Amino acid sequence: MKRLSLLLAAILFSISVAMAQDKPAKIVFKYDEQVFKELGFTPEQVKKFELIQKETNETAIAIRKDPALTPEQKVAKIQELAKARSERQAEQLTAEQMEKRKVIYKRIQAANAANGY
């Protein structure tokens, strides 16, 4: 009986260890040096993207600090802001860069799917 209890405890411990293994973090697309290079950005495009990001961040901070907004309103405004940022960024891309961006998105989606996201 003692051996059976020890065996059962060892099995439960090994199952818990196997279940506790973390999967890799979900990959999120973001414009960074690597993406700028892969998409073939010009220095002007990099500056425009950095300006768009800076303005978006400043607005998001103001939204988060606004005591007149409910948490739900803040979430909605942040989502609208993110959509507007994406549209502004897309306007800065050439047709070729848009196609390359789609390829990057697909690559990220495939990696996330392989990791269970």
Domain membership of residue 87 (yes or no) is yes
Using the predicted structure, report yes or no on whether residue 17 has a pLDDT greater than 60. Answer: no
Domain membership of residue 10 (yes or no) is no
Q: What is the residue type of 76?
A: A
Region 89-111: mean pLDDT is 92
Per-residue pLDDT of 54-80, as tens digits, reads 999 999 999 999 999 999 999 999 999
* Predicted local distance difference test score (pLDDT) of residue 11: 63
Alpha-carbon gap, residue 40 to 31, rounded angstroms:
12
Domain membership of residue 110 (yes or no) is yes
Alpha-carbon gap, residue 78 to 28, rounded angstroms:
17
- Counting the structural domains of the chain, the total is 1
Domain membership of residue 61 (yes or no) is yes
pTM comes to 0.68
Quote the domain boundaries for residue 96. Answer: 27-114
Nearest to 108 by CA among 40, 26, 22: 26
Using the predicted structure, report yes or no on whether residue 94 has a pLDDT greater than 90. Answer: yes
Q: How confident is the model at residue 8 (pLDDT cuts 50, 70, 90)?
A: low
* Predicted local distance difference test score (pLDDT) of residue 29: 79
Domain membership of residue 13 (yes or no) is no
Domain membership of residue 48 (yes or no) is yes
Percent of the chain with pLDDT over 70: 82
Using the predicted structure, report yes or no on whether residue 7 has a pLDDT greater than 60. Answer: no
Domain membership of residue 19 (yes or no) is no
Residue 36, burial from CB neighbour count under 10 angstroms (0-12, 13-18, 19+): middle
Alpha-carbon gap, residue 85 to 23, rounded angstroms:
30
Domain membership of residue 107 (yes or no) is yes
Cβ atoms of residues 38 and 105 within 8 Å: no
